[in-house]
Amino acid sequence: MRVHLCAVGRLRAGPERDLVDAYSDRFTRIGRGIGLGPLNEIEVEDRTARGPVAEAALLARAIPDGATIWVLDERGRAATSPEFARQLARVRDAGTGDLGILIGGADGIDPALRQKADRLVSFGPMVWPHMLARVMLAEQLYRAAAILTGAPYHRA
């Protein structure tokens, strides 16, 4: 199952970019053997500054047709890392070819796009900057793949 991390904003060179790239590479490498990956990062940017509605249109176009959609949102359900791994495996095992995971911009995801999501995922009740949320998501995807393969990365 291909995983598409679709995010509003460009992640420029720096520590966040380095971390996303490192976790993405690790996820793709370890996930290959269990039917996960590659992790494809798609960045969209609303140059017209029309806000969440315009960003939602860009994100919707970035998602492959027929993909399962998860949206990062503070109103979503928080999960432990093993639960997140099981959710990822369930989507894969259902025969899903593509999973799009969306991260909105500064004002979040437009409600109309949020309603189309198959799952709302939360990293807790706090709001995180979208650039850090991208790093956290990439790390959790790698951690999920490690859990599913029995790799020692996750020690809980």
Q: Is residue 48 part of a domain?
A: yes
CATH of the domain at 64: 3.40.1280.10
Q: Calculate mean pLDDT across residues 62-72.
A: 96
For residue 117, which of 58, 56, 55, 36 has the smallest C-alpha distance? 56
Specify whether the CB–CB gap between 88 and 121 falls below 8 A. no
Q: Is residue 155 part of a domain?
A: no
Q: What is the pTM of this model?
A: 0.94
Q: How many domains does the chain divide into?
A: 1
Q: Is residue 156 part of a domain?
A: no
The predicted pLDDT at position 156 comes to 66
Q: Can you tell me the distance from the alpha carbon of 3 to that of 137, in angstroms, rounded to the nearest whole number?
A: 11
Of 24-33, 40-49, 131-140, the range with the lowest mean pLDDT is 40-49
Specify whether the CB–CB gap between 73 and 122 falls below 8 A. yes
In degrees and rounded to multiples of 5, residue 107 shows phi and psi of: -100, 15
Q: Put residue 124 in one of left, alpha, beta given phi > 0 → left and psi -120 to 50 → alpha.
A: left
**Two structure tokens written together for 82:** 């093993």
Q: Can you tell me the distance from the alpha carbon of 60 to that of 62, in angstroms, rounded to the nearest whole number?
A: 5
Q: Is residue 69 part of a domain?
A: yes
Q: Can you tell me the distance from the alpha carbon of 28 to that of 107, in angstroms, rounded to the nearest whole number?
A: 30
Q: Is residue 122 part of a domain?
A: yes
Residue 55 lies in domain: 2-149
Q: Calculate mean pLDDT across residues 45-65.
A: 88
Residue type, 62: A
* CA neighbours closer than 13 Å in the CB half-sphere of residue 83: 7
Residue % of the chain over a pLDDT of 70? 99
Q: Is residue 26 part of a domain?
A: yes
SS3 63: coil
Q: Is residue 154 part of a domain?
A: no
Q: Is residue 140 part of a domain?
A: yes
